[in-house]
Structure 1
């Protein structure tokens, strides 16, 4: 399955009632390990944030088309987020067909690469607006060498996009707020990060969460070892003849 499932439901493709669905072909992709890791981190964080829902799709690397039979529609978003859908059916199709799903994606993210950067902020920007994608975000780790900006977000007004406000902080942080996700999308030291606007804290990546859990476990073990030693010393003092 080329359509990478980064979503909440994590379905098995073509299982059970979805076995009759004919999948779209896998789109050609140029491997970019840095881009892939950024997308996996982004998708994992969004998935965790909406883990309480089973109607959210977070996926990428599959065709986005209005009509499944129209081979001329060749957009392949890096990441899409959609609410109120059946993720299993979409993944079984190996692509997102708007006429079949019943709605366009709510959110699309493109991560810049040398080969596709200009297309992301020209052709795709026009195409996603025509499809009705409510929010379109672009991230360029180079700071704007491949895209027209390090970070850009558009919101759909009528049938065209209007640029969303992007903030540039003195420490180099660049960020904008996504009403669709309810999170801040940030350019931080060439990395894409998500921030909880209610706390102002970055949402940890899976690696950071694992590291924090490991550190907490180590602290708990050290504390327990110290407590055992103290209990043993107390016992020895109590057993000492007076």
Structure 2
């Protein structure tokens, strides 16, 4: 099976894991009292983001959008990986042949907030899900120069079958020092080629800012990667979806 087929399978798995229930009437109100369905220690927007990452329905009735639109990123080798960032953030392309990988690191200009998404990394052999998670978590620790004790607040692992192949999903919500990070990984092992194809993501911010970054940065970028209806397109890039914008082609009118 060719690599682009693996990438397609992993992206489909990601989209399925991010399936949402938009029929809840709570709307995008204050989620301060939200309680994760899966992890008792995850509350507020942190709990909502944890459930979202685990493919559980969350009470979002409007698609989160960038409120302070900045530059637009498009991956040079994989144009489908493109999205708008908030102001004050920069994107750094992940593109490597050893190991083969495609992705992006979005970093706030003060180096305090990171959103990382790598839809494809190809690794030889069968890689255990815990090893894959550790790879991304250790990279997160290294970015923040953190080498002390950390606490795993939430943990999840599950398997599913897609096209006769087994996909293993794992996620960890980690508090380390003054920061909180959410790491998730999807792995797919293809016995014929002997390679594990991995999709992964990291979202990290100071613990005191994590909830805010969830709704201002992490969710708005993530939702741009989903296949969504044109009715929520933000044509004038003013942070207001076309379906609620009084003039969707004038950034000065909302």
TM-score by length of 2: 0.29
- Larger % of helix: which? 1
Instruction: Report 1 or 2 for greater relative contact order, CA contacts < 8 Å, sequence distance ≥ 6.
Output: 2
TM-score by length of 1: 0.30
